[in-house]
Structure 1
């Protein structure tokens, strides 16, 4: 119950009130093997309509808190076995809410190697330390002379005093209350400072030049800046410290340190007695305890805290961007000519038909050194005519704009004008060399597989990108600095949620796509495909139960997300779960008897013990708009002719581009020059923006103005405020900070298909898809559904 209450409090902090019973119900479902997509979609009554985002937060927090409870039990057991567990200590351990608090309490009782303080205690020096604290009027040298112990090599007063000091510094460092107080004080009042490290290579120093003489409050640093500072230190470019105050001001630093040392003295029971004989020795002891012991430990703790907070924010940014890319608008069932640009090695060409099947391949050499431009145009024209190409997908890598120009010339020679689109190559090479690609395209060279992937990801970004490790899609910030397990969990959850939100045609989906369906996984996905290949398409959802090892539990989890178009049961093509088919039929019968549409029925009239109001409303919504695709309509953006490289850019230009990545500090926009430009968060709106995603999302088409171009450093500064004057002082929106651009990495561009959000005036809407949704809707209508 402690875990459940903690989670409900955490979730409620996000805005919506979440009760303990909702968390308890969700935890029970998760423990019983239910997946988040299934719970979010088909168990709304049980959890009080917790959505997938809340459930993912719950799942992650549950993992942490259970690890915390396991550690709590282990610590209690260890201390109890040592015979040192008191009721007061047990209460403190049970009250700890974080792992760091637990470790603070456990530190004095840990089994560890003998310390200087422990040896000093064995030598009988603890009474010396206590005596000097209790009566500082004593002379330290004289008193210490009475504690000599040759057996422990305490042969002089200085040795005894050193041992007593070791005892006091350890005592202070193991005081959990003191450590917690000073940790929070340094967090809230301290400064993080950096400068270029002595001897740093010139290239690294230049990369991190914005962090020279950098001093900022510890607690207010954004995630990207913390990760940049830590990376700079790790690469030897920066010297980094957490200081009590601005280290450039000796007066401020000295004043701050006095406050910390006063707290240490109070913890040890030392009273102000600077004029007493032992006063100087005690003051030095306090100073060493803080600067030599406590500060180092707390700085290490806060570095971990800074990294974890920055990591948490970065993972969220990565996950949000990945969601936008995966849910980008699909071009649908259209023939696509995919071009994987290259110079010396040529442009790889793959044509896929409306189903994604490879129907033709080629390699052309339009660029230097071969310069066979006319032959390349002729080849592409021939392929486009032969296969009725409707779209041309151009990869955004090396020679992308040159190849885009080639595609434009090809289109000019065609009667039926296909639409050309710049498509992200991110992860295409990873896929091409993978075992999955070898199984899917065994007869194609690795280089040609990249062109196939580029073409297919235009048809359906989700279906193609699930074949690639999420980290390779390149929409994160500092992703290589993050904990792999945590990042993988978060990204895998996003992929799973996206796949299940859209739904999967079980008779056409690849094993990679099926593996992401709730309750399926890699083993069952292979079994489904093997059964499909051996026995033909599935006629009903119930037929899935014939797949080896796909039992009742797996069927319950996956059935609602798998679609069967043109099967025996029209509802199998919808998002209605088989367990609710009876409810759907009652709704349809009621609508028919009243000669009205399903959508006009009162959902409350159909609530039963099994199906509550949320489920009834979902079923009605699905019958009204069967198998609706949550993704936006497919649109494309126009890149400016003649602007192909960074040197072609001019300050003041207004360009159209695609948001390739959204970070905490702003958004990167692909304007077609092989280097994404940055729109800082302060240049997105005239009002305060806390999160760039309030304005843009990955894949969105936007108009931007060029404010600054730095070809040498490959930096492009852009603004969404088209009335901003280049060179003029940019008005920062309230509370936004100056961008720390020196160490912001170049972030790879992503899928060029626009996502949800504002639309550009020059976007061209492509022809509507004639895929499975339309066929399913027609089947439902024939069966009297979807009225």
Structure 2
């Protein structure tokens, strides 16, 4: 067996060097970060409280380091396993060892291992056992002799005739080519660079079906692999999965690939030798039966992985924006979960999110109890001192918003303080309502009323409420249901963790789901913290966390700085200063002769201090700088100030929209091709990337983010298809209003069309060009 020690040491050195190169940082920074991660430190903790150790690597760099570290260690483990396997076979050479040590991807390791990998008996192995390998060698070495003539000398009891001998030799040569790591890698890259995706209807019946119409723009579609954006890749893969589309990868002309194979085998396809036709046929056979298949499979896997990576990146950006949306704060809030037939569910929660009251009202059809519903809401507002009204943006939202608006106007008319109202996204609310956690948290409430509670709490603190929902159910992704669940969950979990720790968590009010996202706190530990809080009362200081069962010094180190205790024994416990750094604060107090209560918030005094004067061997200038910033604004919230969009009166459905209208709206989702904006008509409008700014925009996230309030201009409306074209460029020209279409003629094929899909999977995008053309590609005017 090969000894893993020496191999491992080389591999570890290579890992740190490669990570340093990829991150463009010093290898010492990588080594320090890896050591911390291996010791159980989390990315938020390292980024925030170990800046001196890592040279101030930020959370983005650390996340990438953590991800790549996992991959490279898996690569290292696989390399060692392959080395051991080949050595057991007695075939390990210094050259082979060097090749494996130089392989920088798992695919390259597997390419090198292929000839030595235990496999079922192949036709080539059977031919070798029949003594035909010398024939293969002679055909390659001496094409000047006729194949039949050479093969005649290999006819035996096991080899029936010359045809059988040549067939066996061909299989040996094909396997040799298929197990040539350098050749396989070169063919893979050429195929990737030159291949195109071709999609057609899987059948006439599939094309004519209702499901098929969703994918009709791909019934005659061809696009280069390297140019195909992620949303189109996932769209055609979904169409194939649903049996609507037939998908094939075309690598282009075979001649170039066959020339590469011939070169690797030492075959001159231009020679006028007797064996050249047979060798050329063998090369073609190798490409058609083995190597083109493997190249196509590799390209398909690579295509999907790239598309998934892009889709996850888009989802992660949107999720981060939504989680870090402005909180309305700890104000008594009335939540309205709209509905027609089943009524509007109502919940009132206090500033901490505790449920005070619930009911259902029926202001809309068919009951039409408008005045009764308004009187009920007025009574709730007066009884509980409601300061905010949160209206869910689902079915009947505009009608319910109008009810809330009329209620507010009546209250103002009566001379009383009126609450403010805001539209709140319902995405994932039904998932929360039916969850096991919601049943434990609100056991006495019906599932439908839990949704109203969630809507109210979302307005107070989006982050605290949304962490209770599985991230993929929040609905701000792009084809998230087509992405491998494990990849999506890992990425989104990191986003939630970073968001929670960036904001900080109130230790005395946080739920189990929120606490479980804090650095160093597992779900079971979060449950233990809440149980201890319920039993012993509120925490008065951070150090009392150590009284929680199973919460030891390591977990305390990781979590303490991210937990806030308001009105506790020590004002520093309400800040982002870690307890381990409290001695630094004491030194600052001694130097300034001020009490802690005096220096907190005193920006003028704090800005006269030099961080270097308080740094020591443990806490350097970066940490002291952070401490001074926390003292100036203790527990500062990085989220923006709370604002709401005001939807236009009288604009409640798509048919109410007219080209040229300028409206306020809320960005609900950002995709690679643009952003979807809720303007209050139950159907999001699309701001295509080409209509976002008076400059070229490569990524819509450069301009907008989920939850942002924006002003948009209506540039096109398709009432029949419920599609709305919007622009952030308020000076854009508009298209005249159009009536229903008389026909829906299929479009002809296009060369490399640029299309994308909206949040419901419909084709809507364009990479660039005029606004009019972008809207046509988005489905308007078809």
Q: Is the 8 A contact 1:270 1:282 kept in 2?
A: yes
What residue number does 2:727 align with? 719
Q: Following superposition of structure 1 onto structure 2, how do residues 458-477 of structure 1 map, counting pairs within 5 Å? A: 458-477=459-478
| CA 1:716–1:307: 2 relative to 1, 3 Å | same
Q: Find the partner of 2:283 among 283, 286, 298.
A: 286
Q: Following superposition of structure 1 onto structure 2, how do residues 269-418 of structure 1 map, counting pairs within 5 Å? A: 269-273=266-270, 275-415=272-412, 416-418=417-419
Q: Find the partner of 1:93 among 100, 103, 128.
A: 100
Deviation, structure 1 residue 354: 1.8
- Taking the aligned partners of 1:533 and 1:745, their CA distance within structure 2 comes to 42
| CA 1:302–1:147: 2 relative to 1, 3 Å | same
Given the alignment of the two structures, is residue 707 of structure 1 paired with residue 715 of structure 2, yes or no? yes
Given the alignment of the two structures, is residue 25 of structure 1 paired with residue 32 of structure 2, yes or no? yes
| CA 1:683–1:359: 2 relative to 1, 3 Å | same
Given the alignment of the two structures, is residue 187 of structure 1 paired with residue 177 of structure 2, yes or no? no
Given the alignment of the two structures, is residue 602 of structure 1 paired with residue 607 of structure 2, yes or no? no
SS at 1:181 equivalent: helix
Deviation, structure 1 residue 274: 5.8
- Taking the aligned partners of 2:356 and 2:571, their CA distance within structure 1 comes to 32
Q: Following superposition of structure 1 onto structure 2, how do residues 607-686 of structure 1 map, counting pairs within 5 Å? A: 607-686=615-694
Structure 1 window deviating more from structure 2 (276-285 vs 552-561): it is 276-285
Deviation, structure 1 residue 615: 0.6
Q: Is the 8 A contact 2:324 2:499 kept in 1?
A: yes
| CA 1:358–1:181: 2 relative to 1, 3 Å | same
- Taking the aligned partners of 1:678 and 1:276, their CA distance within structure 2 comes to 65
- The alignment of Structure 1 onto Structure 2 pairs a total of residues equal to 725
- Taking the aligned partners of 2:137 and 2:203, their CA distance within structure 1 comes to 44
Q: Following superposition of structure 1 onto structure 2, how do residues 116-135 of structure 1 map, counting pairs within 5 Å? A: 116-135=123-142
Q: Following superposition of structure 1 onto structure 2, how do residues 240-255 of structure 1 map, counting pairs within 5 Å? A: 240-245=247-252
What residue number does 1:109 align with? 116
What residue number does 1:483 align with? 484
- Taking the aligned partners of 1:747 and 1:538, their CA distance within structure 2 comes to 48
What residue number does 1:197 align with? 202
SS at 1:708 equivalent: strand
| CA 1:531–1:369: 2 relative to 1, 3 Å | same
SS at 1:265 equivalent: helix
Structure 1 window deviating more from structure 2 (196-205 vs 299-308): it is 196-205
- Taking the aligned partners of 2:761 and 2:331, their CA distance within structure 1 comes to 30
Taking structure 1 as the reference length, what is the TM-score of the superposition? 0.89
Q: Is the 8 A contact 2:19 2:69 kept in 1?
A: no
Q: Find the partner of 2:85 among 78, 83, 88.
A: 78
What residue number does 1:756 align with? none
- Taking the aligned partners of 2:200 and 2:20, their CA distance within structure 1 comes to 40
Q: Is the 8 A contact 1:5 1:20 kept in 2?
A: no
- Taking the aligned partners of 1:113 and 1:685, their CA distance within structure 2 comes to 60
Given the alignment of the two structures, is residue 209 of structure 1 paired with residue 216 of structure 2, yes or no? yes
- Taking the aligned partners of 1:708 and 1:287, their CA distance within structure 2 comes to 54
Deviation, structure 1 residue 480: 1.3
| CA 1:468–1:36: 2 relative to 1, 3 Å | same
- Taking the aligned partners of 2:670 and 2:606, their CA distance within structure 1 comes to 41
Q: Is the 8 A contact 1:4 1:20 kept in 2?
A: no
What residue number does 1:746 align with? 760
Deviation, structure 1 residue 101: 0.7
- Taking the aligned partners of 1:739 and 1:336, their CA distance within structure 2 comes to 45
| CA 1:98–1:492: 2 relative to 1, 3 Å | same
Q: Is the 8 A contact 1:645 1:674 kept in 2?
A: yes
- Taking the aligned partners of 1:391 and 1:483, their CA distance within structure 2 comes to 40
SS at 2:153 equivalent: helix
Q: Find the partner of 1:149 among 143, 156, 159.
A: 156
What residue number does 1:763 align with? none
What residue number does 1:769 align with? none
Q: Is the 8 A contact 1:349 1:361 kept in 2?
A: yes
Q: Find the partner of 2:177 among 166, 172, 177.
A: 172
| CA 1:423–1:433: 2 relative to 1, 3 Å | same
Deviations 1:596-641 (A, max 9, x none): 7022101111111111000110111111111111010000011122
- Taking the aligned partners of 1:298 and 1:307, their CA distance within structure 2 comes to 14
Q: Is the 8 A contact 1:29 1:39 kept in 2?
A: yes
| CA 1:10–1:30: 2 relative to 1, 3 Å | closer
- Taking the aligned partners of 1:487 and 1:650, their CA distance within structure 2 comes to 39
| CA 1:343–1:739: 2 relative to 1, 3 Å | farther
- Taking the aligned partners of 1:73 and 1:13, their CA distance within structure 2 comes to 23
What residue number does 2:743 align with? none
Given the alignment of the two structures, is residue 163 of structure 1 paired with residue 168 of structure 2, yes or no? yes
- Taking the aligned partners of 2:156 and 2:653, their CA distance within structure 1 comes to 78
Deviations 1:395-454 (A, max 9, x none): 111222222222222222212332221111111111111221122111111110010000
Deviation, structure 1 residue 189: 2.4
Q: Is the 8 A contact 2:11 2:76 kept in 1?
A: no
Q: Is the 8 A contact 1:350 1:452 kept in 2?
A: yes
Q: Following superposition of structure 1 onto structure 2, how do residues 432-471 of structure 1 map, counting pairs within 5 Å? A: 432-471=433-472
Deviation, structure 1 residue 3: 4.9
Deviation, structure 1 residue 307: 1.4
Given the alignment of the two structures, is residue 688 of structure 1 paired with residue 688 of structure 2, yes or no? no
| CA 1:162–1:644: 2 relative to 1, 3 Å | farther
SS at 2:325 equivalent: coil
Q: Is the 8 A contact 1:587 1:598 kept in 2?
A: no
Q: Is the 8 A contact 1:649 1:709 kept in 2?
A: yes
| CA 1:88–1:591: 2 relative to 1, 3 Å | same
SS at 1:476 equivalent: coil
SS at 2:223 equivalent: strand
Q: Is the 8 A contact 2:268 2:276 kept in 1?
A: no
Structure 1 window deviating more from structure 2 (141-150 vs 677-686): it is 141-150
Structure 1 window deviating more from structure 2 (208-217 vs 352-361): it is 208-217
| CA 1:3–1:197: 2 relative to 1, 3 Å | farther
- Taking the aligned partners of 2:614 and 2:466, their CA distance within structure 1 comes to 40
- Taking the aligned partners of 2:399 and 2:162, their CA distance within structure 1 comes to 82
Deviation, structure 1 residue 502: 1.0
Larger RCO: 1 or 2 (CA < 8 Å, sep 6+): 1
Deviation, structure 1 residue 201: 4.1
SS at 1:204 equivalent: helix
- Taking the aligned partners of 1:237 and 1:624, their CA distance within structure 2 comes to 61
SS at 1:509 equivalent: coil
Deviation, structure 1 residue 706: 2.7
SS at 2:113 equivalent: helix
| CA 1:696–1:519: 2 relative to 1, 3 Å | same
SS at 2:665 equivalent: strand
Deviations 1:260-299 (A, max 9, x none): 1111111111112464332222222111211221111011
- Taking the aligned partners of 1:57 and 1:686, their CA distance within structure 2 comes to 33
Q: Is the 8 A contact 2:174 2:286 kept in 1?
A: yes
SS at 2:131 equivalent: coil
Structure 1 window deviating more from structure 2 (587-596 vs 529-538): it is 587-596
| CA 1:266–1:608: 2 relative to 1, 3 Å | same
Deviation, structure 1 residue 707: 3.1
| CA 1:713–1:85: 2 relative to 1, 3 Å | farther
Deviations 1:572-602 (A, max 9, x none): 1111111111101211232237997022101
Given the alignment of the two structures, is residue 555 of structure 1 paired with residue 584 of structure 2, yes or no? no
